[in-house]
Structure 1
Amino acid sequence: MSDTCTISFLIGNGFDIAILKSLDKNFTTTYGEFYDYLAYFLTNKENDIYKAIDNKKKQFSNNENETWKDYELLLKEVVRTKLIELEQYTDFALQEKVYLSFLEDWKEIQYTFANFLNHVITPQTLMDVTNMVVTDMDGKKTLQKFLGDLPIEEYKKIEFPQKINNHIKIDYHIFNFNYSILADNYFYWLFAYHPFNVSKNTLCFYPNPSNISGGKTSTNSDTRYFIRPSVNFHHPHGQLSIPESILFGMSYNNEKTYYRDNSPFKRELSQKLDKAYWGMHTDKVKPFMQKTDLFVIFGHSIGESDQCWWEEIIDQLKQGSELIIYDYEGKGLKKKILHYCKDDENLISDRIFVIDFDETKHLKYSFKF
């Protein structure tokens, strides 16, 4: 048995929306609310990105349920239109003018989005999230007991509990896909590094909180392992405190998507959409992914804008890792992620476990807000 296990949580916008609703906040981080904010506060209504957003809103009356995935697909179309416009000019100066103008539009949207998040998520909101520890709904409990929300048959199949024992080190990696730090505040706690005279253990991990028999280990709800945790936070899409780090787009990470002609503006404009490229996915993220024993996805729609992540998880599942997906309102997320499997999906299907929940079927051990 290894002396270290790695658990990677991938947190999507569904987390921010759910936690803000649970705190009875007036606003959340939905794309629809951002559009309303943009329409009211953006002074430059000639911004090409805003005009594309606004035109689509006016064109389709039934798109109030649009998500950030729809916004990123829209950006793809906006960039494609701009590339066609660049092709109409042979003069370098004119191409540069078009390109620089679009960069200013992009930056303006980034800063307006940052203002929107600051409007929605105040310091008081961050304090409220941190204070969830008082009501026993904080992220520390999620890290300890999330296996308890697995359905009985799913729990019986998962092998991860076999890897945990007393004194093991667990590296928790929180990949916060949101630009806010709500998830950081939820999972963060200030713990003493040496609470015991003879041990460096600082957390208990419960391998079987819901007392399910017939699993891979002979444990019960009273079983708890004293472990050495390490909690690490990552913001692969940028963060609010650095507005120009905010990444919107797709996750190609593939040079074939870039223009290979003599126009640097076409190439750089097409690269602008590549979140994996700017986030240095291969260099910064892949090493952690390759060490991960168990992936946990919460608050994601498993959309194509983050395709490189889903493909990387699939590669690791083929190597023996496992995956837990929280599926809110039964969106069929397991089927969606299997869609990115290029081989026989049966090779990894048995290593994916689903936790279904909704407004009437609440989680008991994890993400209890």
Structure 2
Amino acid sequence: MGFRQFGTSEYADLRTQHNVMALVGNGFDIQVTRKYRTRFSPRYTAFYHYLHARDFDSTNVIVQQMAWLKDLGRNDWSDLEGAIASLLRPPSTVGTDLIYEATVAIQEAFSEYLELVAPPSLLAALGKESSTGSLAIRSMSDFVGDVTRSPNFEKFHFPAETSHYDLFNFMLVNLNYTPLLDDYMYRDPVQWQPRQFTRADRNFQFHPNPTSDPRGHGNADTGWSSYLRTEVVHPHGQQAIPRSLLFGIDAPDGFDPGTHPHRKLMKPYWAMTDIEYGHLFAGVELFIIFGCSLGVTDGWWWRRTLDQLRSQPDAEGPTSELIIYWWSPAEASVASADVISKFLVGAGVEPNDPIRCRVEDRIQVVVYTDLDPPVWLAT
């Protein structure tokens, strides 16, 4: 059991199906708000200032953690969730129930704040840019060109596995609460049609080597007449439903959801990730991580991605590969090896663990800057 398997009853000339799981974090929302110079940022520090301006309850333990981290210059939501986890360890005496009540207390305020971060005007502007520039379709058709930046590109097998009449089946896991990614990736009539031809039912063209890199498969003129399908999921909640917004910690594999004392604070507990998404990983041919800090509080996703990378291919599943997009404030200031180490730590593995030798050839790291953005999720 895994991804739905399509056949010729849905796509007349289907050759094979490529399942792509893209995990998108807060970095995308930050990128969008920075591009449009919006007043409100999706960073938790900005949300803290919003709460402070509203005279929100300063005794709320989550608000107190925000203030403490802000003073330390820590800006990532994973930092805040890590601080929540630290409250559960000695010498802290803060109980699970008190922390949970604190998260519930700020849900409504956070939903209201997100309406300021992603108002209709921003969604309209972003949607228009995606539509007129075919940004969503180009993200999915030309992203291989980004991977040529990776020092490991020669070992990237995915493009060579593609051809005419293939289905590119994208599942976008939006780890954010806003609909900015959903808006960006919407296949509107300007940039895409379910059926582009009178007789042939293809609706997409995939480019395995859009930059004509000599190490690649084909060249810039190579385009596969193929099929496209997309789906967006929000495992951590959506801004329009305040009580769905999940703040919290990771859950250990195999935890007992009926008795674990910290289950009310575990995102995988509320999102039921084992049931809703766990079965999908075995069918993923390509993982893409974008805009994520790779912190341990989203370790459930990183561990399962890593499990697929280290698994041996068999008749029931593909050889999985991973692309990690990593924003850098300056060119060449981040080494690919360091990004891989961060991913491994987030997955609960030491950077020098022997498993690294088994998986690093399957990991491509795309380091980019604002001055040299990638095609994938470009704004």
Same fold (TM over 0.5): yes
CA distance in 2 between counterparts of 1:127 and 1:221 reads: 32
Q: Give the equivalent residue in structure 2 for 1:176.
A: 174
- Alpha-carbon distance in structure 2 between the residues aligned to 1:257 and 1:134: 46
Q: Structure 2 length normalisation: TM-score?
A: 0.83
**Out of 359, 364, 371, which is 1:348 matched to?**
359
Pairwise mapping of residues 209-224 of structure 1 onto structure 2 (< 5 A)?
A: 209-215=210-216, 217=217, 219-224=218-223
Identity among equivalent pairs (%): 27
- Cα distance in 1 for partners of 2:153, 2:99 equals 50
Shift of 1:194: 2.5
2:44–2:66 contact (8 Å) kept in structure 1: no
State the one-letter code of the partner of 1:226.
S
* Alignment check: 8 A CA contact 1:253 1:276 kept: no
Distance 2:131 2:304 in 1: 37
Whole-Å separation in 1 of the counterparts to 2:170 and 2:258: 39
Q: Deviations over 1:167-213 (max 9, x none)?
A: 11111010000001101111111343222222221111111011012
Superposition pairs for residues 32-43 of structure 1, below 5 Å?
32-43=45-56
Moved more, 126-135 or 297-306: 126-135
* Correspondence 1:366 to 2:365: no
The 8 Å contact of residues 8 and 294 in structure 1, kept in 2 or not, is answered as yes
Question: In structure 1, what is the equivalent of residue 103 of structure 2?
Answer: 106
Does 1:128 pair with 2:141? no
Match of 2:5 in 1: none
Q: Under a length normalisation based on structure 1, what TM-score does the superposition of the two structures give?
A: 0.85
* 2:278 aligned to which of 253, 278, 286: 286
Task: State the AA in 2 paired with 1:366.
Answer: W
Say which SS state the counterpart of residue 248 (structure 1) adopts: coil
Where 2:57 maps in the other structure, the secondary structure is coil
| Partner in structure 2 of residue 159 of structure 1 | 157
Q: Post-superposition, which runs of at least 4 consecutive aligned residues in structure 1 deviate over 6 A? A: none
State the shift of 1:84 in Å: 3.9
1:77 maps onto 2:76 in alignment: no
User: Deviations along 1:73-124, whole A, 9 cap, x unmatched?
Assistant: 22223455899466xxxxxxxxxxx94x665432221111111111111001
Partner of 1:89: none
Whether 2:20 is the aligned partner of 1:7: answer yes
Match of 1:325, SS state, is strand
Q: Is the partner of 1:200 in helix, strand or coil? A: coil
Q: How does 1:193-204 map to 2 (within 5 A)?
A: 193-204=194-205
Q: Distance in 2 between matches of 1:108 and 1:42?
A: 14
Structure with max Cα Rg: 1
Corresponding residue pairs, total: 343
One-letter code of the match for 1:40? A
Amino acid at match of 2:269: Y
Check whether the contact 1:301–1:333 (CA below 8 A) recurs between aligned residues: no
- For the 8 Å contact 1:31–1:68, the answer to whether it is kept is yes
Match of 1:225 in 2: 224
Unaligned runs of 5+ in 2: 1-13, 312-318, 329-333
- The one of 248, 254, 264 aligned to 1:272: 264
Aligned-pair CA distance for 1:139: 1.8
CA contact (8 A) 2:173 2:234 kept: yes
The answer for unaligned runs of 5 or more in structure 1 is: 87-97, 261-266
Counterpart in 2 of 1:67?
76
Which residue among 299, 303, 306 is the counterpart of 1:311? 303
Letter matched to residue 237 of structure 1: H
Partner of 1:335: 341
TM-superposition CA deviations, 1:282-336 (whole Å, max 9, x none): 1111222221101111101111001111110111112320001111112732121
Kindly provide the amino acid, as one letter, of the partner of residue 234 in structure 1.
V
Q: In the aligned structure 2, how far is the partner of 1:103 from the partner of 1:149?
A: 41
Range moving further from structure 2, 306-315 or 285-294? 285-294
Structure 2: how far apart are the matches of 1:208 and 1:254?
39
Cα shift at 1:150: 1.6
